[in-house]
Each structure stands twice: as structure tokens, then as C-alpha cells.
Structure 1
């Protein structure tokens, strides 16, 4: 697979590669949204500090260069960082997994759906043959994204990591193949 573009745009939503100087803003966006993120994401806890944010943007840089993950800052009005969206090469050859989260003040506006659509398009452009989204079965907001984008649920499995507080420990796996995406856009 080729490397993705460092900036993406889809239907009014912009994404750009995380930068080392974004650590403080990543810290702020996460900590302002802990009540919204912590129920679903084990890493979003009161232990999240500036060092954790710095480690994230630093590892994002090395992961990008190694082709392990392509992490983007989701930009809102005025190009302010309002969340994160990623393509991760952890589901095997030819596939990329999408992950996402937003600041609590920006949910319910279709931003994640449009950011995920940008990631789907980019994944297929760089050579992925399928894309997956994985979420806890109780996370209905996350479920709405693959449903809206035409993904098909292909698996239901026990989580491998300890679940966050609101999680059931059962993950739903959704997949969209490049061939299906082409057929749907025709």
C-alpha cells in the first residue's frame, strides 16, 4: 500500500496529519471530553496527561513512517482540532481499520461519519482492498457510522483488551470491500 495524503477533505470536514506541536491541543481536547470518551475508550482516563498526549503525537509520527497507522486530527471551525480519526494497519494484509473520536461539543453533527468517509476513500485510493470499523456493541453512536457508510457487519467477538466502563466486552466488526464501494458509487 502507498502512504496516504497528509490532508484529507470530505463534505466540509478536514483532516490533517497530527503534528508534534499538537500535543497540548490533543491534551486539551481529550481532557475536556473525558466524560464523553472514558465510557468507551480505556485510554481516556483521569490519568491522561500532557506526557500521554505527547507520546501519542510522537508515536503517530513514527507509526505513519512505518505504515502502522495514519492518525489525523479532525478539524472544526477555524481549523481548530476537535478530534482524531485513524487508518490502522492492524487487521491483516490488504485491510485498514478506522478509528475515531470527537470532542464532546461536536458530536451529533455528522462530522465523524464524514471524516470516516474521507478515510474510506483514502484507504481505497492507497490500495486497501477492505476497511473495517470495530466498536463495542453498546456504543450506538459508533455503530451509526458504519451503518451510514454501507458497511456490513461481519463478526461479533469478545474484546481482547479490558473494556472501558460502558462497554459490554463484545465487539461488532463491520467491513466494506473496495469492490462494494465501487458498486455503490456507480
Structure 2
């Protein structure tokens, strides 16, 4: 199992089938917290559902079309960061993430994303990373804002969430901007 140490408390690891039960339990304990912005939680009823997500993530990784990592805080899974797909022709990707309710407010997502974005720009040769967050999701929007992403606009009615459309704020970061800020 590959683990990348971020700091004394925090590590990142490629998602794996062995994570299914722990990851499911984290999402199950965090249902109320996650449900507000992530409707997939309503379709996650067992570790087998989480295994299907892991299988899809590992297939995208094998196809060089995505990267999903678990955030480990003191060795326990605290959340997930996901490069949703790679557009190799344009050297760009988009990012999704979530944190378990027990781990909110510790800066884990920001530190994890910073490490992954260093990897994406410096080692993978990507030129652009995009993050979209619901306009009302202040916590999720805080990640790109703290990391210096540029707010590029709003996509109106970008997602249907519980029978209502939500607008998404689009944030972008270019390799030259990221590297000049390091």
C-alpha cells in the first residue's frame, strides 16, 4: 500500500478495496453532514456500495483517467480527495472532495489538496485544476479560496440537488500561478 506522508498527523493513500468498510462507516456516521451537498450518500447503504465506488475509482486510475486518495488522519480515514478525470490533451483535471463530520475544522482538506496539487502540477505536468462548489456551500468554497484559486465565474443551475437547481462557483488554478505562489 502506497502512503504519502503530508505531515506528522496526515497522510494520503490510493483508495483500495481494503478501505471499503472503514470508508462506508465514516460516510454512514457523516450522513447528515454530507447529505446537504452530496446526494450520493442517499444511495450508499452498505460497504458493498462503497466497494463499487472503489472499483470505479481503481478502474479510472488503471486507465490513467482519475486518482482517488483517502485522507488518513492519525492512520484513520478522515475523507477523500478525487481527481475526477484527466483531460490529457489539455493537461487539466477537476477535483472533488469530502470530509467526515468528525474531522471538520482541522484543515485536513486544505493540507491534503495542497499536497495533491503540488503533485499534479510538478510531477504529472498538469496545467490547470478546476474546483466547482455550490454557491451556498461556504465550507467547500473555502478550500480553493485558501489555496489561492481564482474565482472564474458562476455556472447557473449547474446541478439538480433534491429537486432544486444549484449554482456552482468555478475556481481555477494554472500551473504557472501555483508555482509562482510556492
TM-score (norm. length: structure 1): 0.88
- Contact 1:9-1:118 at 8 Å conserved across structures: no
CA contact (8 A) 2:158 2:167 kept: no
- Choose the corresponding residue for 1:127, options 118, 125, 128: 125
- Describe how 1:100-179 pairs up with structure 2 within 5 A: 100-124=97-121, 125-164=123-162, 169-179=166-176
* Corresponding pairs, count: 178
> Runs of 4+ in structure 1 displaced over 4 angstroms?
none
Separation in 1, partners of 2:51, 2:32: 21
TM-score (norm 2): 0.90
Q: Structure 1 regions of 5+ residues with no counterpart? A: 1-5
Task: Give the superposition deviation at 1:59.
Answer: 1.1
| RMSD (Å) for aligned C-alpha atoms | 1.9
Correspondence for 1:10: 6
* Distance in structure 2 (CA, Å) of the matches to 1:90 and 1:38: 27
Q: Secondary structure at the match of 1:29?
A: helix
**Aligned equivalents of 1:23 and 1:135: distance in 2?**
26
